[in-house]
Amino acid sequence: MSHVESNDPADQTLLYCEKPEWQDVTPIPQYDGVNPIAPIFYTPEYKDATEYFRAVVEKDEISERVLQLTLDIIQMNPAHYSAWQYRYRTIIALKRPLEAELTLMDVLAIQFLKTYQVWHHRRLVLTALYESSTSDSASSPSSNAAGAAAAAKELAFITRALETDTKNYHTWSYRQWLLAFFDDEALWEGELPYVERLLEADVRNNSAWHHRFFVVFGRVRAKGEVDLEEVLKRELSYTKDQIAFAPNNPSAWNYLRGILERNKKPYSDLQTFVEPYTVPASSSTDEGIVDLDNPRPGPGAQLPCVAALEFLADIHEKAGGEQTKQAIEIWKSLANEHDTMRKKYWEFRVKEASA
Amino acid sequence: MTAVERNWKPTPTDGVSSPTSTLQASTEEILKARYLSVTLNAASSNSPPSTPFEPTLHKNSHIQYLLRNLRQGFPARYISQAASQPWLIFWTLQGFCVLGVGLDGQTKKQAVDTLLAMQHPEGGFCGGPGQAAHLLPTYAAVSALAIVGQPGEGGGWDKINREKMYDFFMSLKQPDGSFLVAHHAEVDVRGMYCLLAVATLLNILTPELVAGTSEFIATCQTYEGGFCNASFPGWAQHHSSTSPIDPSIPRPPLGEAHGGYTFCGTASWAFLQPYIKTSYRGSGNVKPEVNLKALLRWTVQMQGSSIELGGFKGRTNKLVDGCYSWWVGGCAGVVEGLIGEGVGKSEDKAHATDVPTEPDGEWDDVDDALFNRRGLQEYVLYAGQHHAGGLIDKPPKPSDSYHTLYCLAGLSAAQHRVQPSSSRRETLSAAWTAHAEAEFDGLRKEAFISALSWVEEEGASLYVGGEKNRLNATHPLFNLTVTHSEGIMAHFYRQTIPSRFTKKST
Ligand SMILES: [Zn+2]
C-alpha cells in the first residue's frame, strides 16, 4: 500500500472487496434485517467503499489505508460528513503533514465548491496547523509566523475559488472566518481593494457588499486605531457613487442603511442625496450643478427608484408630525404603483404609522 | 379564455449591465415564457372562452412522483444524498401529508424501522446507518417519526433515546452558546434550528441546554435584516478567560443574510421565547434582541416582482427559487407571529373592520399576510411544477425531493394562515397537567403552549386556482401538520390536548 494517496485510475479498478490488503476486514452492509423505505441505488463502487468504511468505524481503526478509503468515498459523495470527520481524526492521530492535506484538498474544494464539508475540513486543518506550530496558547493567531504564512496562502486560494463562483456562500463565510481568526493586519490590508475590484466587475454582487461591511465594521479595533467619522465619510461617499451609477440596486441601498444604523446616524442626513432618485428622470436634471457630496443619477437611471422612495418615506416617518402624511403618500404610491408585489407590506407600514 | 393581464416590466438595470443583471434578465425571460406557455396550452385545450384561466396544482402527478421515490427508491445520482437519508424520508412523507395523502400501516412500520436503523448508539440520528450522529438528520428523523410513529411496541416513539439525545446535544455545545452540527463539524444556524425543534418536540429543553443560544442567534442577524450561517466568537472569547463570553465585544456575522439561515434563525428565535420569557426575568442579564422590523423588511424584499411570478429569492440580487417559497415565504408568517406577540396583541384577529376593503374585495382583508400570498402561489403553480411530477427550483430544472416538499410547503404557507392564537394559548394553559416529578416545569409548559398555540385562522385561507388546489396547513415552526405536532408533543409531555375544532352549537 503506497504511502501517498492516489487518484490513479489503475488503483481504482479494484473494489475494496477485491483488494488483498483489505482481506482482514469484513464489510458491514448498510441495513441489517431492515427492508429500507425509499432506498438509494448505489453504484457498486460506492456500496463497496461505504461497507468497508462502516467496518473501519466499527473497529475504530486509525491507519494509513483509511486515508485512501475516506478520500475515495469523499470523491463519490463529498457530503459524506462522517468520512470527512473520520479522515480528520486519522490525519491528526497519525500526525500527517497538514500542508500536504491542504494541497490535496485544493482540487476537491474547487470541484465541490458548494459542499459545506470541503470548506470546513480546510478550516479544521488550518486551525490544527496553527495550533501545532505554537505551544504558547497566550499568543494570538497573528503573532504566529507559520500560522500567518499559511493564512496568507489560504487567502490566495479562496480568491481563486471565488473566481469560479463569485457568490459562493461557504467560500465567503470561510474567508471572513479566516480574516477574523488570524486577525493579521497583512491579511486585512488587501480586502477593501479586493471588494472594490469585485464590485467594479459586478456592482450587484451582494456577497461583495456584505464582505465590505464585514471588513469595514466587523473587525475589533482598539479605541483610536481608526477614525470612525472618516471611515463613515468614505463609506457614504463610495456607496452614493455606486447608487448614482446604478440606482436600482438593492445591495447598495441595504449597505447604505446598514452603515447609517451601525453608526447611529439619521437617514435624514441623506435627504438631499436621495430626493433626485425619488422623482421621474426628466424632472431631475439640473444641468451644470455638480455636487460631489450628492452625486446625481446616471444617464441611464430608471426613476423613480423604489429603494429611494422607501428611504425617503423612512425619513418622513422618523420626523413624524406633518411629515407622517408624506411618508404615507409615498407608501401608498409604492403599494399601488411602484412596488405592487409588496402592497400588503406598504399598507402595513401605513397602518403602523397611522396607529 | 381571456388572458390575465400581467405586468412584464423587467427588473430595471439603469443601462448598466453586470453578470447579476444578465443572469436575472435571462431568468425573467424563462419565467415569462413558462407562464405564457402554461396559459396558452390551457387556452388551446378545453376551457370555455371568457373563463379566466386558473392554474392547477397537478396533485396526482406529484403524488405519483412521491410514491415512486418511496416504493422504488432513488437512482444513483442521489448518492450525493446518502448522508441525508432521514431527509429523503422526511421530504417524501411530509410531502404526502401536505398533499393530504394518508399512509398505510405497513408503510409506516417500514419507515419507522428504517429511521430507527439510523439512530446512533450514543444519541441522535445519523445521515445513514453506521454514520456519525448529526443535528440535521436528527431533526429529519424525529420529524419523520412524528408523522409515521406512535407510542408503544413497534411505534418508534419510545425507541427514541431522549437521554442520550440530550447528552449528544450537550456534547456539541460551544462556549458562545452555539452548537456544532456534529463532532468535528461546523457551527451553523441550521443545526440550532434542528436542535431546538427536536428538543421542543421531545420535551428535553433545559436552561442549561440553551443558555447563551439566544445571544448567539441574535448575533447572526446581518445589517440587511436576515440571518447568516454563524457569527465569529473569537474576539469575545479571547478577551475574557474567566467568563465564557463577553457581551460587549462584537461577534460579527460570517456570510450574508440568506433565506435558509433566516428561516432557521427566525424559527430558533421563536423556539427560544419560552426560555427568554422564563429565564431573564429578574436575572439581571441583558435580554438579547433581534430587530424584527428589519427582519420583516428583508423577508418581504425577497419576494420577486411580477415578471418573476412572485417567487422568493434567498439573497439580495439573487434569483428566485421554489425552495425559498418555504424558507422565506414560510418565514414571513413566523416573523409576523413574533411581531404580533411582541406588541402584546391580546385578542385574536377576528375584528378590524375599520380599514377599507379593496374594490375587488375577494381576498384583501386586513388580516391578510404581509407578503403577497397570491404571488407566491402563482410562482409555485406556474414555475414550480415539473410536467413529469415533482416540483422544482425553476424551469428547466429537474424535480427532486427537496424542492418537491419546500415548494408544496411554501404553497401551503401561502394558502393558510397559521398564527399564534391567544385563545388557543388559554385553552392549552387551562388543560395543562403538571406532573409531580417533572423537571423545569415552567420552561417546558411554556415551550409546549407556545409551540402549539400556532393554529390555523379560520376563514383566512386563499386558494389560487380554486379549492381543488388546496393543501393541508403545516406548522410554521416545525413543518409538520398541526395534528402531527400535537400528537408527538402530547406523548412526550404527557398531556391531553383539547380539540382545536369547536363543536357547532345549535
Ligand atoms: Zn432551491
Instruction: Please give the single-letter amino acid code of residue B352.
Output: A
Looking at B51-55, B158-162, B336-340, which range is the least confident one? B51-55
Mind telling me how many Å the CA of B71 is from chain A's nearest CA?
6
Residue B393 alpha carbon to ligand 1 centre in Å: 5
Q: What secondary structure does DSSP assign to B164-205, as a single string?
A: HHHHHHHHTB-TTS-BBSSTT--B-HHHHHHHHHHHHHHT--
Q: How far apart are CA B457 and CA B202, in angstroms?
A: 26
Using a CB-CB distance cutoff of 8 angstroms, which residues of chain B are in contact with residue A307?
Answer: none
pLDDT for the residue numbered B219: 96
B282: domain range?
Answer: 58-73+82-233+249-342+368-493
The Cα B359–Cα A81 span in angstroms is: 55
Grid coordinates given for B81: 444524498
Chain B interface disruption, residue of A37, A73, A220, A314, most B CBs within 10 A: A37
Mutation to test the B interface, candidates A123, A210, A334, A351, most B Cβ within 10 Å: A210
B 103-122 residues inside an 8 A Cβ radius of A: 107, 110-111, 113-114, 117
The pTM assigned to this predicted structure is: 0.94
Task: Taking residues B38-52, report their average pLDDT.
Answer: 73
The confidence score (pLDDT) of residue A141 equals: 62
CB contact under 8 A, B317 and A300: no
Q: Are B255 and A173 inside 8 Å of each other by CB?
A: yes
Tally of residues, chain A: 355
Q: Which amino acid is at A161?
A: A
User: Would you give the end-to-end CA distance of chain A in angstroms?
Assistant: 76
B23 burial type by CB count under 10 A (0-12 exposed, 13-18 middle, 19+ buried): middle
> Which amino acids of A are annotated catalytic?
114
Residue in A28, A140, A297 nearest the CB of B130: A28
B253 interface with A at CB cutoff 8 Å: yes
Q: Collapse the DSSP code of A170 into the 3-class scheme (helix H, G, I; strand E, B; otherwise coil) and give the result.
A: helix
How many angstroms separate the CA atoms of A199 and B39, rounded? 39
What pLDDT, on the 0 to 100 scale, is given for residue B355? Answer: 40
The answer to whether A18 and A44 have CB atoms below 8 angstroms apart is no
Contact B230 A173 (CB under 8 A): yes
The reported pLDDT for the residue numbered B147 is 98
How far away, in angstroms, is B192 Cα from ligand 1 center? Answer: 21
The B residues from 152 to 211 touching A (CB cutoff 8 Å) are 182-186, 188
Q: How many domains does chain B divide into? A: 1
- Quote the minimal CA–CA distance from B28 to chain A in Å: 16
Q: What is the pLDDT of residue A1?
A: 38
pLDDT reported for residue A290: 78
pLDDT at B278 over 70: yes
Q: How far apart are CA B379 and CA B322, in angstroms?
A: 8
Give me the residues of chain A with pLDDT under 50, please: 1-4, 138, 284
Strand (E) or helix (H) holding B368: none
- Give the separation between CA A114 and CA A173, rounded to whole angstroms: 12
Given the C-alpha cell 424632472, which residue does it identify? A283
Alpha carbon distance A265, A228 (integer Å): 12
Confidence of residue B49 (pLDDT cuts 50, 70, 90): low
- Return the percentage of chain B with pLDDT > 90, whole number: 81
Which ipTM was obtained for this model? 0.94
B81/A79 CB distance under 8 A = yes
Structural domain contains residue B448: yes
Q: Which residue of A has its CA nearest to B229?
A: A173
Q: Say whether A33 sits in a helix, a strand or coil.
A: coil
Whether the per-residue pLDDT at B117 is higher than 90: the answer is yes
Judge whether B68 and B422 are in contact, CB under 8 Å.
Answer: no
Residue B464 belongs to domain with CATH number: 1.50.10.20
Q: Let me know if A288 is exposed, middle or buried by CB neighbors in 10 A (0-12, 13-18, 19+).
A: exposed
Half-sphere exposure of A84 (CA within 13 A, CB side): 29
User: Quick check: B132 pLDDT over 90?
Assistant: yes
CA–CA separation, B178 vs B30, rounded Å? 41
User: Which residue has cell 497566550?
Assistant: A138
Question: Hey, how many other C-beta atoms are within 10 angstroms of the C-beta on A249?
Answer: 27
> Distance between CA B333 and CA A95 in Å, rounded?
51
Q: CB–CB of A338/B12 below 8 Å?
A: no
Q: What is the pLDDT of residue B366?
A: 44
Residues contacting A20, CB < 8 A, separation 6+: none
In a domain, B502, yes or no: no
Residue A327: CB partners within 8 Å, gap ≥ 6?
Answer: A313, A314, A316, A317, A349, A353
Distance from residue B407's CA to the centre of ligand 1 (Å): 9
B330 touches chain A (CB under 8 A): no
Contacts of B297 in chain A (CB under 8 A): 345
Inside any domain, residue B38: no
Known catalytic residues of B?
258, 315, 318, 321, 323-324, 393, 400, 403
Sorting pLDDT into bands at 50, 70 and 90, what band is B179?
very high
* Angstrom distance (rounded) from CA A282 to CA A278: 12
Share of chain B above pLDDT 70, in %: 90
Contacting residues of A for B21, CB less than 8 Å apart: 204
User: Is residue B459 assigned to a domain?
Assistant: yes
Nearest residue of A to residue B93, measured between CA atoms: A38
Q: Is B258 on the interface with A (CB under 8 A)?
A: yes
pLDDT, position A288: 62
Confidence of residue B35 (pLDDT cuts 50, 70, 90): very high
What was the pLDDT predicted at B503?
Answer: 57
Number of residues assigned to chain B:
506
Residue of A267, A341, A347, A349 best to disrupt the B interface, most CBs of B under 10 A: A341
Within 13 Å, how many C-alpha atoms sit on residue B474's CB side?
31
Spatial CA neighbour of A213 closest among A197, A226, A200, A231: A231
In this predicted model, what pLDDT tens digit does every residue of B349-375 receive, in sequence order? Answer: 433 333 444 444 343 444 689 999 999
Confidence band for B348, pLDDT divided at 50, 70 and 90: very low
> Could you tell me if B78 lies within 8 Å of chain A, comparing CB atoms?
yes
Q: Confirm whether B414 is domain-assigned.
A: yes
Residue B308, H or E segment: none
Q: Which of B114, B255, B317 sits opposite A176 (nearest CB)?
A: B255
CA of B262 to the centre of ligand 1 (A): 14
Q: Which of A48-62, B28-42, B47-61, B411-425 has the lowest mean pLDDT?
A: B47-61
Q: Give the residue extent of every domain in chain A.
A: 1-96
Q: What is the pLDDT of residues B376-388, one digit of tens each?
A: 999 999 999 999 9
- The per-residue pLDDT for range B68-81, each reduced to its tens digit, is 999 999 999 999 99
Decide if pLDDT at B505 tops 90. no
- Closest by Cα among B479, B484, B405, B451 to B199: B451
pLDDT of residue B352: 39
| Sign, CA torsion B411/B413/B414/B416 | positive
Distances (CA, A) of B248 to A47, B111, B137, B438: 51, 48, 35, 36
